[in-house]
Structure 1
Amino acid sequence: MDTEAQHMERDRSSGPAEGPEEGSRSTHVRDRPVMSVTWGRAIFLGMLCTVALLLFSAFVLQPFLIPSGSMEPTLRVGDRVLVNKLAYRFGSDPRRGDVVVFDGTGSFVQEPASGGNAVGELLHGVAASLGLAEPAGSDFVKRVVGVGGDRVVCCDERGRLQVNGAPVDEEYLHPGDHPSDVAFDIVVPDGRLWVMGDHRSNSRDSRDHLGQPGGGMVPVERVIGRVDWLGWPLGRLGSLEGTDAFTGIRPADAHHG
């Protein structure tokens, strides 16, 4: 009886046992759904983060790649700046001395012809909005020199720019540059801006469009935002320095009155 009991006990303990191959196979099969769920969640989270980043870039803060040297030494080729899109959203207007990014369509460039590569333009627009590609050909970065009503003249007898009769000490100019090699005397219409690059000898700005429709004046509603911070390179990371060059200039109405 003891011998039979031992045999029965052995049979019960060894019956459901599985070989090493079967056990590993069943474990592998069970792991597959878990991995697919993990990958699916990662892809979803990645898409969600991308959409959130694009929305943030579209309405709040947009990276902008500097494509040319027209704003040197303030901004250099390859710099990535952060454009504050809320700067002029709540009743504030661009001020003299602000560095702004704007859409130059209709003022600096002609209206684009229709029928381009829509998919390519969309992908490029997404990359540009993240600061990964050069901006659209209609986007520019310049410094505001005159606002609506201002009389901007260049140059006085000492070779200085004047705004509303007051000379402007433009300390931000590229070393060796003059305020302008092109003489002009203009009055900025209301709702528009007169803008110029800091590297005057290497900048196509409002001066280059004087004889064209609009006279090189940029509509305020075309301003995308104000450049407030430098995001790259890391050695220059920080807020963009302001300027006191326009401090004390009287408003246009006070000057003309």
Structure 2
Amino acid sequence: MNIAILIPARLSSTRFPKKLLCKVNNKSIIEWTYLGAKNSKLAQTCAVLTDSKEIQKTIENIGGQAFFVDGNFVSGTDRIAHFVLDKNYDIIVNVQGDEPLIDGQTIDNLITFFIKKKLQMATLAVKCNTCADNINDVKVVVDKNSFAMYFSRSKIPYNANFYDNYLKHIGVYIYDKHTLLFLHNQNPTALELAEKLEQLRALEFSIKIGVLIVSKQFIGIDTKDDLQLFEQYINFKQMSSF
């Protein structure tokens, strides 16, 4: 079984331009993400797919794999699908480039979950009641069998007085190649465009998304405040190790 971890890395960002090249402790965000992901023991390939020569060079300078995949893609999923058309990958793990705390063991746990449950698609989430009102934190609700029911930037469910199990979605997806290419061949859906969340395309086409709930800390970099929080977290971890 040929498993690839692919990291779509777009240079421009509406909320935080060039965030992937911002440095924390002398490593850019895309380096943090790549170096964490490549420690997977189950994947045969780990590579960054980017529209930026600067990002490509950054990864190649640390001995990593990076491919220039130019084009006007609606999402990271579409950039990956374009790249894998002529590749013999069976399973693809899509790690968003702004997830600097991703690690190989978490990815391997997701791969194992995906294979064991015989899923078409899966993702990660973490319990996080403090994220409910933050539109930059995507929330997910799941059914009794750990399948996603909906993703939103809004608080779901709405009434926190009767609910204390909010789940923050983590920007990592896994799919088989057939499912990935199917999604790529569909037009963006109404919910996807309304929420600006690519995973809603799968739900609108009745593709079940398994959700693996993990306890690890994750800080996705969507804003400058997130970058500062990540820097504080890394400095705290380093201080604690002494």
Sort the TM-score into its range (normalised by shorter chain): under 0.3
